[in-house]
Structure 1
């Protein structure tokens, strides 16, 4: 399930179903995704595709994503008007505080700002432990020096200028993407979309689409209620998605 929300209004902007074996990047080819000029697109690494970053920029929009390991980064050699690949490990060795670098990324040579932020030591250790666990699960005997080094930093790439997205605000902006994760958690924990008993395909399809209709119905009601609170009260109040949809479910279905 590919779910895109327009965050300012809290409304579903796109909802698309594919088979479970399809790569997430195939979503870009679905034609379901609309890019608004001047908008900021947030997505996780599963949707990373170099030419799509270029397409977003061509539409007059901006993207913000974590950096994907082993995607080449380049700096421009002005005298020769060429791009020279940089050593990211060496760059990280010189970072002591949050900073940004004007670079080019991928084979498409897309102009970006690479924003680098060191993380606390306990976070670095936790990430390194998780990296080793994931490597064992996938059958990798060892991790590259770059992957180990990246455990100590947050790395983001964006084409948004600093006047729109200051480097100090990058982490705060990117954390907004967790609204998607919160919605999926609600779908599973409250609406039980992943609790499926053994049944024939026809009954399953009825169950699946019925549940999805209920989800969209609940989301639209929540969006309306949240907008009402934000615009019709003296103080801007924020409505809890969890509590609101729990009540909607109890009263509606």
Structure 2
């Protein structure tokens, strides 16, 4: 165990070495010549100060003088939050994402059907209207500017494959297909409404990529009988469900304006309690028409996973794994305070968000490493809560010193074994149980 922790501490120390930081700073033009604020001092202060809040420029200046003996005015520091700094932080984040893929290809769970399972979703939060040109919102009082974080990770290997910043106006359907060429065949994609328009299903299937997606009741579904396409309405689907004994409707349909793509439709009726909860949430946002009210009581999913591989019930269970990403977003906001940023200009705002996302990735890296060491299903929320309280003890000098980092990680390992195991609410299925039921060859 000690050897594994030592290897990990050596890897982290090399990654944040002075040489590596200098190289990235020069490549992004953050460092063009010697200046009072070195790349190392800048990153040390802004990174660890932002772990749970959004400090003021004065606080940064005080920390620079206290920790690095560098006296600089808040006006001079504000000028360092520029396009070069933003590029350096983007390069750092991209390198972190690339390195975790290259250094951690071992899957904790294996599957006969899927090479991996990728879950993608986005999280939004309002920001100062000073950033409205860069991050336009939906309009209206207090919604002039809004940031959207796109996040995707691999469930079987726990690797993050997408972590990017955009506006809330950015199209989910474009984001969902942006990097589809990099997705290997037999990968299962779990996406919510908006990420896959019907026309995307054909492209995914042609590449050998599986998908399970929520379907919009407004989509046109057709059945094919005797060479004739017949429109399948929401009312017809509800009627079919009520007439059968099985919980799930499982049938082959064609979806799209011109019945363009054959998919498998899986549907089930909500309980009255679930229906009322959904009705309350939707009616709070907008007035619902007759068609929308009719669709309130039904779940619709489309997939190209063959019925021989997954039953309708298993399709539903697999899609429910998307809940994991909601737990991640909850941790980002409730513990890491990702959305708590005071008013500032757009460039500095993006720099601060990038710094916070780098902190997210450091926490995620610790989680994956500790999962392998403990052989336990650990809670990201519990781990991050612990790390927030210990962030000041993990300054850059500790990260760069493999011996100090080894001691720090050993202490965290002991804490995780005792306090960080994931707990599930009564009635909620464990991730491992769902995967064991739907993915073969699970050790």
Establish whether residue 197 from structure 1 lines up as the match of residue 348 from structure 2: no
SS state at 1:47 partner: coil
Change over 3 Å in CA distance of 1:75–1:217 after alignment to 2: same
Shift of 1:247: 2.0
Q: Kindly indicate whether residue 220 of structure 2 is the aligned counterpart of residue 72 of structure 1.
A: yes
* Pair 1:228-2:373 in alignment: yes
Partners of 1:27 and 1:2 in 2: CA distance: 8
Report matched runs for 1:1-253 at 5 Å: 1-28=149-176, 30-31=178-179, 34-78=182-226, 80=227, 82-96=228-242, 97-107=247-257, 109-136=260-287, 142-145=288-291, 147-230=292-375, 237-253=376-392
- Whether the 8 Å CA contact 2:188–2:211 is kept in 1: the answer is yes
Native 8 Å contact 1:135 1:143 kept in 2: no
Deviation at 1:32, TM superposition (A): 7.0
Report if the CA contact (8 A) 2:217-2:300 is conserved: no
Q: In 2, are the aligned partners of 1:35 and 1:56 still within 8 Å (CA)?
A: no
- The SS at the match of 1:180 is helix
Q: Distance in 2 between matches of 1:25 and 1:213?
A: 26
TM (norm. structure 2) is: 0.51
- Per-residue deviation, 1:29: 5.1
- TM-score (normalised: structure 1): 0.85
Gaps of 5+ in 2: 1-148, 393-443
Counterparts in 2 of 1:203 and 1:67: CA distance versus 1, 3 Å? closer
Deviation at 1:204, TM superposition (A): 2.4
What is the RMSD of the two structures over their aligned residues, measured on CA atoms? Answer: 2.1
> Contact between 2:211 and 2:304, CA under 8 Å: does it hold in 1?
yes
- Contact kept, 8 Å, 1:74 with 1:105, in 2: the verdict is yes
Deviations 1:83-125 (A, max 9, x none): 3322231231121332211111113622111111122122223
Report SS of the residue matched to 2:321.
Answer: helix
Alpha-carbon distance change, 207 to 41 in structure 1, aligned in 2, over 3 angstroms? same
Cα distance change of structure 1 residues 31 and 90 upon mapping to structure 2, 3 Å threshold = closer
8 A Cα contact 1:193 1:211, kept in partner:
yes
- Give the Å deviation of 1:33: 6.8
Which structure's CA Rg is the greater one?
2
- Tell me if structure 1 keeps the 8 A contact 2:151–2:162: yes
Residue 189 (structure 1) shift:
1.2
- Consecutive aligned runs of 4 or more in structure 1 exceeding 6 Å deviation: none
Once residues 208 and 127 of structure 1 are traced to their aligned partners in structure 2, the CA distance between those partners, rounded to angstroms, is 32
Long gaps (5+) in structure 1? 137-141, 231-236
Distance 2:199 2:209 in 1: 14
Higher helix share: 2
What is the distance in 1 between the residues matched to 2:374 and 2:349? 37
SS in 2 for 1:18: strand
C-alpha separation in 2, matches of 1:190 and 1:166: 38
State the distance in 2 between where 1:48 and 1:109 align: 14
Aligned length: 239
